[in-house]
Amino acid sequence: MIDVEKRRGESVSIYVWSYMVLLLLVTFSVAQYFPVVSLVGLFVAGFIFLAPFFFKFLTVESRLVFSSVVFGVLLTALYPPFVGFFSGLNGGVNSILIKILLGLRSAFFSVWIYIAFSILVFKDGSKRSVLFLFLVTLIIIVGLAVGPGSVEPKVTYLFNSFLALFSVLGVIAFVVSEKVDVNFLGEVVFKLAVVVCLVSIVYFPILILNLDVFRPDLALFHQSVEGRGLSGALPPQWTSLVYGEFYPRFVGSFPNPILFGYFFALVSYVFFVKDRYFISLALLGFVFLSLSKGAILLFLMAMVFRFALRRSKLVFWIVFLGVVTSSLSLAYVLDGSNRVHLRGLMGGISSVVSSSIDNKIFGFGLGSGGNLARAELEDGPVSEGWLASGSESGVGVLTYQFGFLGLTVFLLLIMNVFKRGLDNSLSGSSIAAVSLVFAWFANTLLQEDLINVTIVSQLLMTVVVLKSKRVMGRVD
């Protein structure tokens, strides 16, 4: 038995180091366009990639999950203040460098979590787990090979969406079935999440009142805009038009109010599940101030699904189907942005249905459509072709790029979370985690943002916290 474990450990080490070498080569190939920072960038990238292996007291997969969540979530939450501050002091930061920074964040998270998924599959050894890993790897490889287009949108969607998406769902299935010890991880991650919330709550009001100190880049822009008051200093996504006046949306330290809203909604959900109702409602108030409708829907759906699942699985499925049907029906009936999202969902599926047999099975290829590849569309970024590629819908763009094989794998991974989480017991933490995953899934029908690494990493963070028995001293 010892020899078997030793050989398995050696195999995992070879697997991990192979990915490290591959990622460093990719990083160096990108950095070569910036000779001054290429060697420094290579060193930093290598150091960050090795970070998961510094925690000797944790298993390899636990280190990878912990590092990916911390790195993915914290960088998203805290980089805007630093980038904005130094950008203003130095007369602006090259946007390409910022894209590389965010690209490395997505790449590290995606590779770490894919390796964690692979290790968990090898340790589990079941045919079902191996099949899932095989299918995920197969559709990613086929997606890269299929379809025309440049390399950039393929790499963008690979690291910013789908490698992370499929891998996170695979890892979540092991977390909810308690195949990964997340007690320590959940406690640490939860404390960090609370710190992020406090920083965001304090930072944004100070930012609004002291633009010239904290964001000189926005202050300079503010001076060139007349007739819009304070909101003139803010990026368009940070403001909303209410009764003819522009008002700032609460953004915290995040790059936009959408990411802020989802983060606070997820943390609020954790506090509610742990019976800290006052704190939960207080955090939910900031979600309303962000005017992030998707985040509010996610929270409400998770609460409804949790209530139903605590009754029985049958009640849950009836409620789930009813909520999804109502959501799609309202998107069709109401005249607003939701109708655009619905057209994206139907457009992506219709394009695949009306295509050739190989496109029906494998889709049109990774990076062939969607919001992140709008510049590649032949008839322009805002067009019928844009919505026909599934844009504005997570499920729509997934189906368009990976066909019905990819959609099937996605649905099987969702069902695997349900099966692993609830087959052995209907514990309170498993019910809360599964309900959240299905609320997220229901919202991916009409929101493409939810399949991006920024939200997927937050989903994994929340499931880890929910399954930790050391968070707020409550088991369930």
Q: What's the confidence (pLDDT) of residue 15?
A: 44
Structure tokens at 153: 């949108």
Beta-ladder partners of 242: 245
Q: Where are the domains of the chain?
A: 198-291
Nearest to 294 by CA among 241, 257, 269: 257
Q: What's the confidence (pLDDT) of residue 86?
A: 58
pLDDT digit string (tens) for the chain, length 476 residues: 444 444 444 444 444 444 445 444 444 444 444 444 444 455 555 555 555 555 555 676 777 777 777 777 777 777 777 666 655 554 444 556 666 666 777 888 888 889 889 888 988 888 888 999 999 999 998 888 887 667 778 888 888 889 999 999 999 999 998 888 888 778 888 888 888 899 889 888 887 776 666 666 565 555 555 544 555 556 667 777 666 666 778 888 888 899 999 999 999 999 999 989 999 999 999 999 988 889 999 999 999 999 999 988 999 999 999 999 999 998 888 766 778 888 888 988 999 999 889 889 998 988 888 777 665 555 544 455 667 888 888 999 999 999 999 999 999 999 999 998 887 666 788 899 999 999 999 999 999 889 998 899 999 999 999 988 877 655 45
Q: What's the confidence (pLDDT) of residue 62?
A: 75
Element (H, E) at 245: strand 245-248
Under DSSP, the state recorded for 227 is: S
Q: What's the confidence (pLDDT) of residue 124?
A: 85
Q: What's the confidence (pLDDT) of residue 2?
A: 42
Beta-carbon count within 10 A of 409 CB: 20
Nearest to 239 by CA among 231, 230, 227: 231
Structure tokens at 170: 């695979």
Burial of 333 (0-12, 13-18, 19+ CB in 10 A): exposed
Structure tokens at 346: 């139907």
Q: What's the confidence (pLDDT) of residue 291?
A: 87
Structure tokens at 183: 């007690």
